[in-house]
Structure 1
Amino acid sequence: MKDYMDNRELSWLKFNDRVLKQANDSMVPLAEKMSFVSIYQTNLDEFFRVRLGFLYDQMLFYPAMIDNKSEMTAEEQLKACFTKIRRLNHKKDSYYQKIMNELLNYNVKLDTFEEINNKDDKRLLENYFDREIMPLLSPLVVSKRTPFPFMNNGELFVAAQLTSHKGKRKLGVVSLANVMDERLMELPVTRRHYILVEELVASQLPKLFKKYKVEKSSVIRCTRSADIDEDDIIEGNSYREIMEKLIKERRHLHPVRLEYTEGLEDIEISMITKFLDLDERQAFISASPLDFSFFGKLRDVLKIAHPELFYTPLPPKKSPLVNDKKPMIEQVMNHDILLAYPYNSMDSFLRMLDEAAVDERVVSIKMTLYRVAKNSRVVNALIKAAENGKEVIVLVELRARFDEENNIGQSKALEKAGCTVIYGLEGYKVHSKLCLITLKEDHIQYISQIGTGNYNEKTSKFYTDLSLMTARNEIGEEVNDIFTHLLQGETEHHTNYLFVSPHCMLDHIFNKIDEQIALAKEGKDAYVGFKCNSVTSKPMIEKLIEASQAGVHIDMVVRGICCIVPGVKGYTDHIRVISIVGRYLEHSRIYIFGRTSPDVYISSADLMTRNLERRVEVAAPLLDERIRNQVISMFNAYFKDNVKACELLSDRSYKRVKNKEPKFNVQEYFLK
């Protein structure tokens, strides 16, 4: 492994470690700590399904293939990941127990059946189990004639070690799929004490396996790969039908992980891993529940009685660039507007879209949709525009992983209303965030919106993103050209203002970096700044190393994966990398080139191979001086953070930024 590069998967695990550490941060309110434990688990689930599912396939079919940065084979990467995950899970169990102990101070407790002291609670729970739960369960004993059941991804089961009357050892299995609606049950008598349905079922196993002695039991859960491509599905009359079949197919992909709680002996765990065709190193024991979705209900309990256990609610502020008393279209015609979510509300953009739906001057609205809210105001505005006779063209990217079903439903609603819906490009995901409103009076006028994040009202409240609205026709013409290419199944190859992947973003970025390299070689001040979610592109890493070696100072705010290692002598001496994990998910992408008269862009693209070479992404220049300076100030503020910021060191570890300056939390600063 080269000193100045890190493995992608191991770098991601370091990010999830930073997420998990928020659950043990004394500055994080108790109810929010619960959220971070849950986010850690959800992140890890997706990591297994997507990344480790891919590595597992690579290990089986291309065992000699190596990672181009760490030079590790798939098997070596899996082994290193499994070792790291076991350590992280041990930490997760510790933090979970600490949180549950703190909840006792607020008279909230999660009991096992054995811990319940009140006899009436036990009696009433047993009666409820007999009446409402047991009829929904289908307990089976594994045998030659009764095979081990199919385990859906994430589905909870209770597995039991049984002994028959002849003394034979058997494995009993009970699916909980039909009883998860009431997973967290409050005890009938002892208020604010709860039991999980899997604990109740485990306590009542003798009723389910009456002819056996129940020796021990565990809750088990299987994670299945989601690494499937639409090219694998060849039947279907339309692309949407292919995607619908893909979603169904994904449910049956091979397992990549077994999780189990303490209880069963090794022999039963070995049997289960064998049934699932898993290596035993893919089995992970847990001292905490396997699914933390029940935390949501506990948070609801606390929210009313103990609001101090949550972040102080701070509503978004109105942008100083927006006048609520004037139409948004007229305001954007007069000057560029930048919104910074969640510090500014998305309402200003939504208001512009609603105005466009009824404005007689508007002839068309074109938009790309990647992830939208379930009851989307954006989709409703587009439907309204179509019903009012506007031409509405929407590119709905059906390959937005794990949002496919929602996007399929939204595409059907748009088509029904009369919108023209297309489904992206063959071979390329469309990840750009583009909206183009075309108006016609005595001339053609474009209003463009270009963003760093999705058109999702829900996530805009806790993802940090930037949204530019501009009536500059030079920008509008290029956005219109992008849509023209998309409608013809093509990609953009030439632009003057916008950076557009997959064909002309990397070259534009490299040209800008080369300008700074030239300045550095002349002994002048040279600077590059990037804010993004991940850095994995090897060509980009090599260009940044070239710039650092030339003397260009490079500042990077990278929330998640970072495969470039800063501070390595002779390679990355002039590169600094920090990561912010806090109240909000850092999601905005910013590119800065130069200190004197800097060129500043906001972008939908991370510095990843997939974004720069296999997706349609767009970066837009900030041509308004006031907005450009605002974004530079925001970027610089991240490097003042000494509360949530962690710095990536030359040994590949992250260390919390500490100094003698007054405490500065950049997200709180933006809020206030």
Structure 2
Amino acid sequence: MTVAQSSPEKTRLDDPQYYFSRELSWLEFNFRVLHEAVDERTPLLERLKFMAIFSTNLDEFFMVRVAGIKQQIDAGVTKQTPDGRIPQKHLQDISDRLRPMVEIQHSHFEQELRSLMVKNGIQLLNYADLKSEQTAYLDDYFEEQIFPVLTPLAVDPGHPFPYISNLSLNLAVVIQEPETGKEHFARVKVPKVLPRFVVLPDSLRTTKNSKSILWTGVPLEQVIAHNLAALFPGMTVQNCYTFRITRNADLDVEEDEADDLLLAIEQELRKRRLGGSAVRIEIEKSMPEAVRTNLMRQLELTDADLYEVEGLINLGDLMTFMSLPAPQFKDKPWTPVVPKHLQHISNPDDDDDLDAEEAEDFFTIIQQRDQIFHHPYHSFASTVQRFITYAAHDPDVLAIKMTLYRTSGDSPIVQALISAAENGKQVAVLVELKARFDEENNINWARKLEKSGVHVVYGLVGLKTHTKTALVVRHEGDRIRRYVHIGTGNYNPKTARLYTDLGLLSCRDDLGADLTDLFNYLTGYSQQSSFRKLLIAPVSLRQRMLELIRQETEHCRNGRKGKIVAKMNALVDPPIIEALYEASQAGVEIDLIVRGICCLRPGLKGISDHIRVISIIGRFLEHSRIFYFHNDGDEQMFIGSADWMPRNLNRRVEAVVPIEDAKIFQDLQALLTLMLSDNRQAWDLEADGKYIQRRPAKGESERSTHVMLMAQALKSAGME
């Protein structure tokens, strides 16, 4: 795309040519994920993991983003996005960009990774290549374990076309009556209740060159396909072909009309289990025209919704192989460290292990100075989880308030909150029922919390509560002290091992007062319009971020230095982007670390010459948000839950906190500097929208963000 160059005086910074498509930028992010599967430097099983992540990411993209665009088209929407596309154009451009990616994914798996797996003793075989004793075993397995679960569904005037559930793998079966030669169509669903890959016993594993075999198996659908005769006795099975459907799975809750938000979302979840209209069909490439035409007609899909696949459909199931006991094919295991100044405090595994003196010591450490923790380098269990657990059992703690967006159902955090309520403490939890694809999980443990006496609030009408905040109120001598945790990540011990996130622990009075006001805003009828320190969306966050960007612009216009470094998951918001363009035109040096979607075009002469954008992709998912402003030497730093997206700034409750402790400030500056120097995991965004992966120059040592941060964590914990 050719971008017109104009002088700043004549430039309209909202011109569509200066913005990347949100959807296409997301596809580029997912392509970077796929590259980890293609990159030979990635261990074998990790490559399969990234193949799986690419697939599951695409599933969600179709269920939500593509489904939304198709709904806009059906509704006759012609409004352009900031990049100048109307819905029809967007849908076509998505298809044009995505098809080559899907082709690369499947061809690389079939032609490279599958043979590499076999070479290394992981034999994912095709049924047709098995020996007679192996097929005999699978025939018995089919009869005993698979056949009772299957339900063949005929399609004829007496049997209407069956409902094909969302993300289900199916066999389209063509059968024939032997006497009349008449053909029929049937559908057999590959049951999700059974493992996708059928494992052969050790005695039936084939060995080559005396190499040890770790695993041998075949896809479940192939076992079913070669035993279809058992499902259609008296008929001739002509052939069968694999296909898979993706449906609209976004919830449509009319919050203003709902008397009970929990019940309304439960009703929508029942609809999601079935799924809305079909938005994509993946088919085996060899499927005949007549069969595919019939499927598409019944599902009301067009050629634009059809994706042909050479080989296995749904590579998301490759995640199964990460459970193999083969550390030689995985990243080196990482155990999060306990910060050195907390190592003298034992980590309670259950209520019986709690020590009152250690709990007192933990709170004393927070009193001495603000604490910041960086997960997964710092142990979540020994920091944030310990904070909530101690608070739940400390007799001096009077109240605990938290916001929960996503967490695991068996989370020790949830158990601690239940214990706190049982111990007679005032416990209030805001559970966000609208956390996409976690709604059912959230409902389940929200009810569990309520049954234990916890005050549960289900969010605000029209807003998602995305803040990562906790408030502990403690009686100390003749005063009440408030302790706060404000973070960038969810209170989820499982994702805390995979996502990089920051969390601040403090007992500063101004932050405690702000969180008290915030929880009153969330649980009551407060119309809070200002806060002492916190930047809260949708109240003040957008305005303050724009002020901070424009502050750097003014410094440069007055001959002073201007610098911005911002790290986030996504940059989409047009007013923020426009302000960054203005800052660049004034000479502000801007470094952006944006993991996923970035709609800003860097490196345009006269527009964004001073803006650089990188994305870091690796073994951990970069999730933290950090915002740095030079401010003519009076530097300012913030962390929080919000990306620079319209939804975060306008439609979510977010909390961003200023960093005022000098040591923490320096540590975060060093973190940003380290990431900007990465030459292994970092990708540079070019002005044309392409991402170029950095590689060490000749003779240069490799600098991988995640590797360097793990090494730093070990050193700081005295474990090097």
Give the 3-state SS of the residue equivalent to 1:230 in structure 2: coil
Aligned equivalents of 2:92 and 2:527: distance in 1?
39
**C-alpha distance 416-180 of structure 1, shift in aligned 2 (>3 A):** closer
Which residue does 1:141 correspond to in 2? 154
Instruction: Give the aligned residue type for 2:705.
Output: V
Matches within 5 A, 1:372-391: 372-391=407-426
Q: Deviations over 1:511-567 (max 9, x none)?
A: 111211111001111011110000111111111111111111111000000000100
| Shift in CA distance, 458/491, structure 1 to aligned 2, threshold 3 Å | farther
| 2:540 equivalent to 1:482 | no
1:269 alignment counterpart: 292
Match of 2:668, as an amino acid? V
Query: Which residue does 1:315 correspond to in 2?
Result: 335
Query: 1:430 — aligned with what?
Result: 465
Residue among 609, 630, 635 paired with 1:598: 635
**Are residues 1:646 and 2:672 paired?**
no
Letter in 2 for 1:318: V
Q: Tell me how far apart the structure 2 counterparts of residues 50 and 477 of structure 1 sit (CA, whole Å).
A: 38
> 1:205-244 to 2 correspondence within 5 Å?
205-231=228-254, 238-244=260-266
Inter-partner Cα distance in structure 1 for 2:393 and 2:125: 56
Asked whether 1:87 is paired with 2:100, we answer yes
Count of paired positions: 665
SS at match of 2:590: strand
Evaluate the alpha carbon distance shift between residue 296 and residue 649 of structure 1 in structure 2; reply closer, same or farther with a 3 A threshold.
closer
Distance in 1, matches of 2:691 and 2:554, equals: 32
Which region of structure 1 is more displaced relative to structure 2, 438-447 or 362-371? 438-447
Task: Give yes or no for the alignment of 1:411 onto 2:446.
Answer: yes
Distance verdict in 2 for CA 1:298–1:659, change over 3 Å: closer
1:212: Cα distance to partner?
3.7
Where do residues 76-475 of structure 1 align in structure 2 (5 Å cutoff)? 76-97=89-110, 98-116=112-130, 118-165=131-178, 166-177=180-191, 180-188=193-201, 189-191=203-205, 192-231=215-254, 238-251=260-273, 252-301=275-324, 303=325, 306-320=326-340, 322-325=342-345, 326=358, 327-347=361-381, 348-441=383-476, 442-475=478-511
Q: What residue number does 2:597 align with?
A: 561
Specify the code of the residue in structure 2 equivalent to 1:49. M
Asked if 1:52 corresponds to 2:72, the answer is: no
1:666 is aligned with what amino acid? T
Asked if 1:670 corresponds to 2:706, the answer is no
Mapping of residues 14-29 of structure 1, within 5 Å: 14-29=28-43
Deviation string, structure 1 residues 382-435 (Cα, Å, up to 9, x no partner): 111111111000000000111111111111111111110000000000000010
TM-score by length of 2: 0.90
1:13 aligns to 2:23 (yes or no): no
Deviations 1:344-385 (A, max 9, x none): 011212112111112222111000000001211111111111
> Does the CA-based 8 Å contact 1:447-1:472 persist in structure 2?
yes
Deviation at 1:169, TM superposition (A): 3.5
Deviation of 1:598 (Å): 1.3
Please tell me whether the aligned partners of residues 425 and 489 of structure 1 are also in contact (alpha carbons under 8 angstroms).
no
Q: Is the 8 A contact 1:430 1:617 kept in 2?
A: yes
Report SS of the residue matched to 1:365.
Answer: strand
CA distance in 2, matches of 1:415, 1:103: 48
- Map 1:609-624 → 2, pairs under 5 A: 609-624=646-661
Q: Report deviation, 1:490.
A: 4.8
Say whether the 8 Å CA contact 2:52–2:317 is kept in structure 1. Answer: no
SS in 2 for 1:222: strand
| SS of aligned partner of 2:163 | coil
Cα distance change on mapping 1:232 and 1:316 into 2, 3 Å: closer
Structure 1 spans left out of the alignment, 5+ residues: none
* Matched position secondary structure for 2:342: coil
CA contact 1:22–1:36 (8 Å) conserved in 2: yes
**Following TM superposition, by how much is the alpha carbon of 1:135 offset from its aligned partner in structure 2, in angstroms?**
2.6
1:510-521 pair list within 5 angstroms: 510-521=546-557
- Kept in 2: contact 1:500–1:618 (CA 8 A): yes
Three-state SS of the structure 2 residue aligned to 1:437 is strand
Q: CA deviation at 1:206?
A: 2.8
**What is the Cα deviation at residue 650 of structure 1?**
0.6
2: CA distance between counterparts of 1:263 and 1:112?
Answer: 16
Asked if residue 530 in structure 1 is aligned to residue 566 in structure 2, the reply is yes
The equivalent of 2:588 in structure 1 is 552
Structure 2 distance, partners of 1:220, 1:437, is: 52
- CA distance in 2 between partners of 1:339 and 1:244 (Å): 36
Q: Is the 8 A contact 1:228 1:250 kept in 2?
A: yes
SS in 1 for 2:333: coil
Whether the aligned pair in 2 keeps the contact of 1:556 and 1:576 (CA below 8 Å) is yes
> CA contact under 8 A between 2:46 and 2:331: conserved in structure 1?
yes
How far off its partner does 1:91 sit?
0.8
Select between 412-421 and 258-267 the one with higher mean Cα deviation.
Answer: 258-267
What is aligned with 2:355? none
CA distance in 1, matches of 2:134, 2:117: 20
Cα gap change, 1:286/1:490 in structure 2, threshold over 3 Å: closer, same or farther? farther
- Change in CA separation of 1:429 and 1:455 when aligned onto 2, cut-off 3 Å: same
Q: Which moved more, 1:345-354 or 1:488-497?
A: 488-497
The worse-fitting range, judged by mean Cα deviation, of 651-660 and 290-299 is: 290-299
SS of the residue aligned with 2:18?
A: coil
Q: Hey, what's the Cα distance between the residues in 1 that align with 2:554 and 2:371?
A: 33
Paired amino acid for 2:463:
Y
Comparing 144-153 with 612-621, greater Cα deviation is found at 144-153
**2:170–2:243: 8 Å Cα contact kept in structure 1?**
yes
Identical columns (%): 34
- Structure 1 residues 563 and 375, CA gap change in structure 2 (3 angstroms): same
